[in-house]
Amino acid sequence: MSEEQSETGTGWPRPTGPTRPQGPAGEPDPRPEAPDPDEVSPLTPEGEPPVEDAASSGAGAPQGSPGVRAVFGLGRRFTSAGAMIALLLGLLGFTLVVQLRTTSTDPTSAATRQEDLVRIFSDLDSREKRLRQDIESLEESQRQLRSGEQGRQAALEEATRRADELGILAGTLPARGPGLSVRFEAGSKPISAYRILDAVQELRGAGAEAMQVSGGDGASVRVIASTYFLDGGDGALVVDGRPLTGPFTITVIGDPTTMATALKIPGGVAASVAGDGGTVIVEDREVAEVSALHAPVKLDHARPVS
């Protein structure tokens, strides 16, 4: 240990500068020496020289220091998160492009107009309402039949009502009510039996409750579940074995708006007849008369389940 180190006792080089004042008889002055502000470095609370922050020192700090490792680790985390976000955004954009291309190339959506879609939705809504009304009516009938006091009278009224409904469906009773008159006029091609059958099916799907087909000569045939249609000679139509001459008219009872919408949907009955050069004229009837009757059908094989 050098002489300067032994005198200071701290291991630090003895500062150079003015000598400390001497006391009497050459002894050191007991008063503390004032530190030189240009030579004294600040100390940490533990009495050690401060260590410069590696993060603030920049490129001068050693790469192995903890501050530098923390900075570079944070950069790697930011890079991974940015890559993940970019990947997710890319997948989202690809999905949107595929969806838009699929929608734009859908022939059904492109060929259907907005007015036609509104009509189809209205038709479905009307069907739903009608079915809900039927459910409510049946539930009310069930409650009345289960009641003790009015059960017998309710059962009799319900049986009478059901008999009338079944008579109308079977064609053995005449019927009247709001409905439509659908007239088919031939163009360059005669009205085929297939077109009339298609119209009957569309009307049934739209809630038709009773209908009949009439010819130009005034003859009418009641349409029931077993009714069939055939093409006759010279543009005639055979309904249940009876020939009818054109133009043909279907008189139907049911909700006029729903049935008219069903006939006019894109690619439906009206469009098909127009494609053959014919015309379909649909008119509302506040009171439509279905007066043609059908003889009761004798069942040879079907029996009710007991």
Quick check: 175 and 210 in contact, CB under 8 A?
yes
Which long-range CB contacts under 8 A does 227-236 form with residues at least 24 apart? 227/200, 229/193, 229/194, 229/196, 229/197, 229/200, 230/193, 231/192, 231/193, 235/186, 235/190, 235/191
pLDDT at 59: 44
pLDDT value of residue 254: 95
Which stretches of the chain score pLDDT less than 70? Answer: 1-78, 102-112, 148-151, 306
Query: Would you state the pLDDT for residue 103?
Result: 58
pTM: 0.53
Query: What is the structure's pLDDT at 115?
Result: 76
Tokens of 272: 């098909």
Q: Note the pLDDT of residue 112.
A: 64
Residues pairing with 177 in the sheet: 288
Cα angle vertex 273, ends 263, 116, to 5°? 40
Q: What is the pLDDT of residue 64?
A: 47
CB atoms within 10 A of CB 208: 22
